Structure 1
C-alpha cells in the first residue's frame, strides 16, 4: 500500500511542495494581520507549525475527497490518473484520509486555541465530500458546485485568522481581517473558473464555463475578480511597502493584457497557465513584503 500511496502523492499531491504551500498560506495571513496591527514581536512555536500543517492536511483531504467523488467521471475522461487507472486502490486513499484527519484533529485539540473553528472547517469539508447530501443536483451543475464548494477557502482563512486574533488578543471584526479573509479566496476562485475556460476547439464532453457561456463572458468575469482581488492586496500592503504596491499593479496590468489577448485569440494559450503565473508572482510579492518590512521598515516611493 505504501508504494501505491507514493504513486498517488507524487502525481496528485506532491507532499514537499504542498507542505511548503501550507506554511506559505498560513504565514501570509498570519503575518499580514500582525504587521497591520503594529505587532512585530512574534511568539512563534509549535502552534504555528500545527497551523501550517493543518492547511496542508486539509487540502490533501480535499484532494482525496474529490478523487473519490469524481471517480466515475475520471474513469471516462482522465483514465491515466492513479485511481482510475487502478494503480492506486480506493481503500488506499481512504486509509490515508482517515490517518490524516485523525492526526490533524489530535494535534489541533492539544495545541491550538481555536478548536471550534477547526471543527467547523472539517465539518464543511466533510459535507463537500458527500455533495451536501444533494449529489444529484450539485454534480450536474457547474455553478452549484462552485457556489457550494469554493467558500471552503474562506473557512480555511477564517481558521488562520481566528487563531491569530485569539493568540494576540486582537479585535476580530476589522477591515484588515475582512481583507485577509478574502486575500487567498479570490485567487482560488479565479483559478477554479480559469481552469474551466477553453478555446472552442479544445472543448470535450467535460463541462466547462466556456462551454456553458462561451469563452468571453467567463474571462471577463475572472478579469473583474482579479481587479477586485488586487485592491484587497494593495490595501493590506499599503502601510508596509509602496514598492510592493507598484509591483502588484505591474503584475495585474500584465495579467489584464493576457486576459484581453485571450479574448481576441483563445487559441493563443491556455488562460489558466497565465493565471497560475500571475498568482505565483502576486503571492511572492505579498510574502517578500513581510521580511523586507521587518528588516528595512516601510519603503516609501510615494
Structure 2
C-alpha cells in the first residue's frame, strides 16, 4: 500500500511542494492581516504549525475527493493517471485520508481557537465531495459545479483569518479581512476557469467553459476578475511596499495584453500557462514584499 501511495503522492500531490504551498497560503494571510491592522508583536508557535498542516491536509482532501468523484470520467479521458490506471487503489487513498483527517481534526479541536470555523470548513468539504447529494444535476453542469465547489477556497481562507483575529483580538469583519478573503480566493477562481478555456480547434469531448460560452466571452470574464483581484492586492500591499505595488501594476498590465492577444488569436499560446505565470508573480510579489518588510523591521 505504501508503495502505491508513494506513486500517487509523487504524481498527483507532491508532499513537500504542497506543504510549502500551505505555509505560503497561511502566512501570507497571517502577516498581511496583521500588518494592515497595525499589529507588530507576532507570537508564532504550535498553533500556527497546526494551521499550516490543516491547509495542507485540506488541499489533499480536495485532490483525492476530485479523483474519487471523477473516477469514471478519468478512466475514459485520463486513463494514465495514478488512480484510473490501477497503480493506486481507492482503498489506499481512503485509508490515508482517514488517518490524516483524523489527526487534523484532533489537533484543531484540542489546540486551535476557531473550532467552529474549522468544522464548517470540513463539513462543507464533505458535502462537496458528495456533490451536495445532487450529483446528477451538479456533475452535468460546469457552471453549477463552479458555483458550489470553488467557494471552498474562500472558506479555507476564512479559517486562517478567523484564527488570526481570535488570537490577536481583531474584528472578524473589517476591510482587511474582507479584502484578504477575496484576494486569496480570486487566484483559484481565475485558474479554475482559465484551465478550461481552449481554442476552438483544440476542443474535445471534455466540457470546457469555452465550449459552453465561447472562448472570447470567457476570456473577457477572466480578465475582469483579474482586474478586481489586483485591486484587492494593491489595497492590502499599499501600506507594506510601494515597490511591490508597482510590480503588481506592471504584472497585471502584462496580463491584460495577454488576454487581448488570446482573444484575437487563441492559437498563439495556452492562456492557462499565462494565467499561471501571472499568478505566480503576483503571489511571489506579495510574499517577498511582506518578508522584506518584516526583515527590515528586525534589522531596524
Aligned pairs (5 A) from 1:40-189: 40-189=40-189
CA distance in 2, matches of 1:73, 1:3: 25
Q: Distance in 2 between matches of 1:280 and 1:106?
A: 33
Distance in 1 separating the partners of 2:265 and 2:11 = 32
How many angstroms apart in 2 are the aligned matches of 1:185 and 1:162? 15
Map Cα deviations across residues 232-260 of structure 1 (whole Å, 9 max, x no partner). Answer: 00000111111111000000011111111
Deviations 1:144-200 (A, max 9, x none): 000000100110011000000000001111011000111111000000000000011
- Give TM-score scaled by structure 2 length: 0.98
1:43 CA drift (Å)? 0.3
Deviation >6 Å, runs of 4+: none
Paired residues for 1:1-302 under 5 Å: 1-296=1-296
Aligned partner of residue 22 in structure 2, secondary structure = helix
Distance (Å, rounded) in 2 between the aligned partners of 1:196 and 1:11? 21
SS at match of 2:207: coil
Q: Which runs of 5+ in 1 are unaligned?
A: 298-302
Displacement of 1:134 in angstroms is 0.2
CA distance in 2, matches of 1:7, 1:63: 14
**1:5-26 deviations in Å (ceiling 9; x for gaps):** 0000011110000000001000
Distance between the aligned counterparts of 2:182 and 2:206, measured in 1? 29
Q: Which runs of 5+ in 2 are unaligned?
A: none
Q: Report the CA distance between 1:296 and its aligned residue.
A: 3.2
Does the 8 Å CA contact 1:61/1:100 hold for their aligned counterparts?
no
Q: Deviations over 1:101-151 (max 9, x none)?
A: 101001111211001111000000000100000001000000000000010
Normalising by structure 1, what TM-score? 0.97
What's the CA shift for 1:37?
1.0
SS in 2 for 1:83: coil
- The 2-side partners of 1:291 and 1:56 are apart by 21
Q: CA deviation at 1:96?
A: 1.1
Deviation at 1:209, TM superposition (A): 0.3
How far apart in 2 are the matches of 1:100 and 1:115? 17
Q: What is the rounded CA distance, in whole Å, between the counterparts of 1:144 and 1:260 in structure 2?
A: 27
Q: CA–CA distance in 2 between the matches of 1:294 and 1:10?
A: 34
